Each structure stands twice: as C-alpha cells, then as structure tokens.
Structure 1
C-alpha cells in the first residue's frame, strides 16, 4: 500500500477487503488481528500510537491522524471507552466523515447512540451501533455475537465484514436498540456477579472458601434459566398470580439474608437494597402476588 491519501477511499487488498479501526484497547487490538487473519487490509489510529507497533509489524497500517484513518476506508470501526471519546476524536476530523459507515462499538446509552447517529448523519456519515457481547478473547469465535442496529440496507451491505469479528445479531433500524440490548444484558450481568461476590464475602466471614461454595452457587445459577422461562410468558401477559410464590414470602426470605449478612459482619448494602424493593412491592399491595409483580414496581421511579 502506498501513502494514505485523505481525498480518496482506499481500494483495499486485491479482494477489496479493507477497514479502518480506531481505538486500540484490548478489544480494538483483538479486532485488528482478526481482520488481518482474515485477509483484510487494516488502517488504524490510536491516541497512543505506540500501542499500534505490534499490529503494524503484523501487517496493519498506522494512520498519522484521525482524518487520515477515516479517509482510508468507507467502513470505520470505533472501539472506544464511550461516546465522549468518540466525539473527542471525530469532531476535529469531521470533514473526513462524509460517505463513511461508522460502526460504533463504543459502550454508552441508547440515547447517546441516537444522538451520535444524528450527529454523524449531519456530517454525511452513517452509524451502525454495535454492542459486543463477548470479551476480547471472544472476537473471531463463531459462537460469539454482537448486537447491531441502524439502517438495514447499510447493515446488509457490511454484514459479511462484521461477521468476521463475531456473529451479527441485527435488532432494527433504531440506532439505540443495539445499545439498549447490550445494557440490558449488562444490567443482569453486573447485578448477578455482584450477588456472587456478596455471597462469597458472607461465606468467607463464616470460614467457607469461594472454592467450597462454588458448586452450590453454580447449581443455583443453573436453575435460573428455568425460572426465567416460567415467568417470562406471565410477565408479558401481566399475570402476577401468587399461585407458585408470593411476594410476602420473598420479603421474609430477603430479611433472613440481611440478618445473616449483618451477623457475619459483612456489608449489608446489597441485601438491604433488595429488601427495600420488596417492601415497596408490599406497600403497593402486591403481598399476595408473585414476586414477579416487582416488574410493576420497577416501572415507577422511586419517590
């Protein structure tokens, strides 16, 4: 490849496969290596240029500026911390955005994804929002998946390239949908992992190691999909009949967890927060209903 020019889009390799990647954290580096492995010509840019050294040695081309990186290819993949970082890089280079398809894999809120899509459109670019569902080690693995949303025709035109990284799960035209699905999964992931850490802390306070506890927590987690499958149609139907469980029973159970935690000398903030939510359900008259009625409580912001 000759010198990258800011006035024309690169023709890429002999097979026409080329892409720009901006952002070389662990995820961005994994993406660059996967593209290279699959025969793509990759132009990259990173605020800390030294992070690109190994990738350049492997065949990537380092652009001197964001403008140069944007100008090199029609398809531009962003792997940045958040949308503030996106603007910090793209705003000074906005004149190079026209005609580009920006695959924005940076994590942020659905609202910010929609705002960014509008901003990019104002500069002649199109955004495909992405929500990667795996860590860097999952990039390039066929079982991995990424949520995408944005113009369907644009997604279809670049789907083959996107599937080099992971499976591509298109969620719809709304640019905020991919970010929404991603954050919904993160909501469950972080809450679940925090409950794991809390259980371990209580166990260790009572002389039980994490290793000793693991098979029992694993067994509990293995049962969760069955509970979710049972409650899902009921929740969708707004049916919170207390024929299998009652919220009042849940309140007693969580109260026991809270006191066990306190007696163990462990921070009670997490079970206390859970108990407060259960009690809000009781105050709303759901004591005789299933604990799934808490979905109705969550729909109303706390006073």
Structure 2
C-alpha cells in the first residue's frame, strides 16, 4: 500500500483458516486491524504482524465501526455477539450459512442498531489475497454499508453485490457450490468406471476436462429455457432419447461393478418427467425436469 492509499480500521472476529487468511491480507495491505478469537493463541500469532488483539468480543466490536465476522456457523455468531452493543456498527458476516440464516441475522443486527451485510466466500483460504486466483465474495443486505466499505472488502478478494435481500449472498454461494458438487459426483463416477481397467486416470483426465468444457453450453441454455418456459424449441437431444440413453449408463455401471448412486437420482428425475406425460414432455429438452425439484 502506498502512502497515498487510504488506510482503514476494522475488526475481525474469528481466526480459523479463512479468518486468518483475511486478517493477513488486510494487515499486509496496511490496514489497522483489531482481532478476537476464542482460542487466544491464534490471535496472538497475528500480533507480530501488526494486529491489535482484543481481550473479548465486546472490546473488539467497540474498537471499530466496521466489524467483520468469520466464524464456524450462525450459532457461533450469536454466541460471540449476543449482548454486545452494536449501535451504529457496520456488521459484515462472512460466516457460511443459509439464506434464511442470513435474513434472520440481518433482522437481528438491525434490531440492535447496526447495518448488516451477509457474505458468501467463493474462495479457499489459499486464494485470499491472490487476485489471479479468481476468488471473490458475494455480498447482500445493506447497499449503503457495502458502498461505504467496498474498498476495504475488496482487499482480500473481489466483491460482488447481489442485492438488498440479505439471504441472496448465501443463496448464490450455495447454488454455485451445488453445481460444483454435482460436477464432482459425475467426475467421480467416470473415474470409478475405469477403475481396474487398462485406462490410466491421467489419460482420462484431459478428455474429461475437454468434454465438460464443451458441455458448458447447458448453463446458458438452461437459463434461457427457465426464463421463457419454452422447453421444446431448438431441441437437439430430446428427453425421450436421453431417457433411453440413461439405461446404457446404468447397465455399464452394473457391468463394471460400480454403484450408480451418484447419477441415479438425476436419471430418476428425467424418467419421472417423461412418465408424467410422454406425449407432452418427450420432445422437450431435459431442463424441464428440474421443475420437479421444487416442492
């Protein structure tokens, strides 16, 4: 940080792997940081790097107007901050939680006289403070708070404001993570199928990367169809044909002695959509099947 760059004062509560990475990035950038952690040793280790160590959460909150919280879960946030005067504070909650927890925590903060923003971190600790790694954080809640502190929030990772509904940061976070886990499940199934065969995983790896990249068009296609509710125009591989094709995947898994538990739920969803009305749904894209997920 150059001498002409503004320095900010903030508090960070929670020094797990992610909290510690955030703290070190703010300290390295020259910001004045007060920290508190239930396990005092973690806070003490940052003192040598310039952090001010508070003796209690109340002392940490009182030290600065901007209070960032990065704890294990929503219950931990309440445990650390209940009973503390938050009047006039700007609370940024980077604790992983659900949309409902984010909304409830926003009401909780506002009732205590604080502005509130919830965050969803799309990065691992090793990506924090490394712009080229591509990590960023979703923020939602008070737009005024976000605009006021955007410069300091962008120091550890990119900042993306996704709306004044305090639950939307967590919702974006979990939506992306859900897609990631689904991809991991499919990749795991692919490697399981070749286990014990004369096919090296390292040889399949580039083929997987290439194929999954080519299938990325599905993301935009699904968004367009869900917006228009048109599941039949321009369909290349219709639902009826895809359902037939799923049988080959399941039989191959059985022949290879591999459980189909990672892919069978999606296969079942496609089959349910087709069975509900073969004449109406057979010519559709597979996107329509996801409507069955909404309860």
Give TM-score, length-normalised by structure 1.
Answer: 0.89
Q: Which runs of 5+ in 2 are unaligned?
A: none
In the alignment, which residue of structure 2 is the partner of 1:185?
Answer: 176
* Structure 1 residue 131 corresponds to structure 2 residue 123: no
In angstroms, what is the RMSD of aligned CA positions? 1.8
* 1:152-167 matched pairs, under 5 angstroms: 152-167=143-158
* Structure 1 residue 45 corresponds to structure 2 residue 39: no
Work out the CA distance in 2 between the residues paired with 1:275 and 1:193. 17
| SS of equivalent to 1:147 | strand
Work out the CA distance in 1 between the residues paired with 2:275 and 2:29. 58
Work out the CA distance in 1 between the residues paired with 2:196 and 2:253. 9
Moved more, 280-289 or 40-49: 280-289
Deviation at 1:60, TM superposition (A): 0.9
Work out the CA distance in 1 between the residues paired with 2:57 and 2:192. 46
In the alignment, which residue of structure 2 is the partner of 1:5?
Answer: none
1:77 equivalent among 68, 77, 80: 68
| SS of equivalent to 1:95 | coil
Give TM-score, length-normalised by structure 2.
Answer: 0.91
> Once the two structures are superposed, what CA deviation does each residue of 1:177-216 show, in whole Å capped at 9, x if it has no partner?
1111111101101111121122112221434332121011
1:251 equivalent among 237, 240, 243: 243
In the alignment, which residue of structure 2 is the partner of 1:6?
Answer: none
Q: Which runs of 5+ in 1 are unaligned?
A: 1-13
Q: How many residues align?
A: 285
> Once the two structures are superposed, what CA deviation does each residue of 1:204-232 show, in whole Å capped at 9, x if it has no partner?
14343321210111011211322323443
Moved more, 205-214 or 155-164: 205-214
Moved more, 274-283 or 200-209: 200-209
* 1:135-284 matched pairs, under 5 angstroms: 135-142=124-131, 143-241=134-232, 243-284=235-276
| SS of equivalent to 1:161 | helix
